[in-house]
Amino acid sequence: MDPLPQKADVVIIGGGVMGLSTAYNLVKRGAKDVVVIERDEFFGQESTGKCAGGIRHQFSSKVNIELSKLSIGIMEHFEEEFDQPIDLNFCGYLFVMASEELVPRFQKNVELQRSLGIETEWLTTRDILKKVPILNVEDIVAGTFYGRDGLADPSSVVQGYVKMAHRLGARLVTDTTVTGISVEKGKITAVETDKGIVETHVVVNATGAWSKEIGRLVGVDIPILPYRRQIAVTAPMDEIPQDLPMVVEYPNGLYFHRESGGLLTGMSNPNEKPDYDTTVDSDWMMSSLDALMHRLPVAEKASLRTFWAGLYEITPDAHPIMGKMPEPEGFYCVAGFSGHGFMHGPGAGVLIAEEILDGRAHTVDIDRLRYERFLKPGAMEREQNVI
């Protein structure tokens, strides 16, 4: 969109929801010379554009719940602030458990969620069947539901941020690859690209699954690895109710929701190895469709319309890395959301802008998410509600 400038106050690497939200919140607060560099031709084409579009409060850690409250609150007013509809749909998230062993964990999660103002419901098998009569519950032991979870359109959110960030003065550069970051005496001095050099003292790493590669440019080992995740979408079916929630099954990680009258579905592969491969594994796709047909028998009538694969950016504790990095000076990170990036992107941009402009994020306490936790043995607590 814009030519690469020679100087900038802040350079954000990565043009998905994280980078664009950060840019918007910086310029909204009056920051000057903010540049976003995206290597693809268009913004939001990688993990943001390939996700399932889910937004939820049902997490197992306080900080993730607080991130959801902040981000989903922003999405509720997104159309008003950005003049951009995002197809926000509070259809709810229904978690179903196919193992008694999961019950204590989810009971603990519900207790935490309620303590933070999230009125999650605990459901019996009978309750679940009342909500979704077409569900097979013969091997389900319990479930949880929250009606203010749901869905939004990732592409529309990205376009809203692109439009408003640009309008407020951010420079948005596409089709440009970062090849190096110059550091002198422990401080960032420039970003090197295949189109030229940008002098700057502040760099935000918002490259998701590629964050480890950017960290290497400044000699920092960022513990984020890419894992392939696959999605399939069926043709419309009369049997799919308008009010179908996002259904997530544990322990296998199957999920599905209504999409254009049909179903969007996926299931995490526990045997997936870290890699940047985004070709579709047809064998695993069939396994996930078999799991779908078991849980939702009407899916046997469905015809497959399309499918794709994208990347999760996973950390050892399934929590993001956010905030100012210990070194070099001027280096920030907002990545590693472990499948929750789209839903937490709006809030994350607010918090990174606070880190840069105020010296510390204050709307939500992100100390739990700082890089330094990986330097302290025993300092990590894993997020359990990862799909």
Give the pLDDT confidence of 56-73 residue by residue, as tens digits: 999 999 999 999 999 999
The tally of domains found in the chain comes to: 2
Q: What is the pLDDT of residue 379?
A: 63
Nearest to 15 by CA among 231, 200, 189, 175: 175
Q: Are residues 112 and 191 in the same domain?
A: no
74 part of a folded domain: no
CA distance 67 to 354: 14
The segments of the chain whose pLDDT lies below 70 read 379
CA distance 86 to 55: 12
Q: How are strands ordered across the β-sheet holding 203-205?
A: 171-173, 34-37, 10-13, 203-205, 331-335, 321-324
What CATH code is carried by the domain that includes residue 193?
A: 3.50.50.60
Q: Which residue, of 263, 291, 314, is where some domain finishes?
A: 314
CA distance 239 to 259: 13
What percentage of the chain has pLDDT greater than the value 70? 100
Per-residue model confidence as pLDDT tens digits over 6-58: 999 999 999 999 999 999 999 999 999 999 999 999 999 888 888 989 999 99
Q: What is the pLDDT of residue 387?
A: 86
pTM, whole model, 2 decimals?
Answer: 0.96
68 part of a folded domain: no
Taking the alpha carbons at both ends of the chain, their separation in whole angstroms is 35
Q: What is the pLDDT of residue 99?
A: 96
- What element of type H or E holds 12? strand 10-13
Give the bridge partners for 196, in sequence order: 193
| Domain span at 357 | 10-50+155-224+317-375
Structure tokens at 314: 């996973």
Q: What is the DSSP secondary structure assignment for residue 299, as one 8-state letter?
A: G
Backbone angles phi, psi at 111, to 5 degrees: -60, -45
Structure tokens at 154: 């990732």
* C-beta of residue 195 within 8 angstroms of C-beta of residue 176: yes
Q: Are residues 103 and 209 in the same domain?
A: no
Q: Are residues 233 and 310 in the same domain?
A: yes
Q: Are residues 244 and 359 in the same domain?
A: no
